[in-house]
Homo-oligomer: A and B are copies of this chain.
């Protein structure tokens, strides 16, 4: 595992947005938001978080590392389940507080056994409190023993 390390501090908006230096804007908990999508289909697979070390490990290894907020621990995606993510391309957003990973996902991203964590659709055009979700994804594996969602 890499030693704890850091990126240069974020500058003003113009530098953050138009500069060529990676200077992530970590939040009060030291995290940026990470969105992983399927490099082939474009399907969004999951939303998670990275601390500086997770981001550096992802950059160094080309595999997706995250930081589990629940477990307060660095986490290589798939380290227990085998459902790893090979990063095809990594992007950072305008204000450098979010990253987007295009990945090749082994089997399934979601700890419930579905390919994507976003396996339920919210019907549009409703105004009430009670919104009924519609299932969109099927289970690809038995969730017992898989990565726990942080």
Which residues from chain A sit less than 8 Å from chain B, CB to CB?
2, 5-8, 17-22, 33, 35, 37-38, 41-44, 46-47, 56, 59-60, 62, 87, 89-95, 98-100, 110-112, 114, 117-127, 129-136, 149
Contacts and interface: CB of A to CB of B under 8 A. Distances in A.
Contacts of A133: 19-22, 92
Nearest to A46: B93
A120 to B, nearest CB: 5
A90 B121 CA distance: 6
Contacts of A2: 127
SS class of chain A's interface: helix, strand, loop or mixed?
A: loop
Given A110-B94, A131-B59, A35 B47 contact: yes
Given A8-B130, A94-B117, A122-B91, A17 B112 contact: yes
Given A41-B42, A89-B121, 15 more contacts: A2-B127, A19-B133, A20-B133, A20-B134, A35-B35, A35-B44, A37-B44, A62-B125, A87-B124, A93-B117, A94-B110, A94-B112, A94-B149, A95-B149, A98-B118
Contact of A60 (B19, B91, B127): B127
Contact of A7 (B35, B131, B134): B131
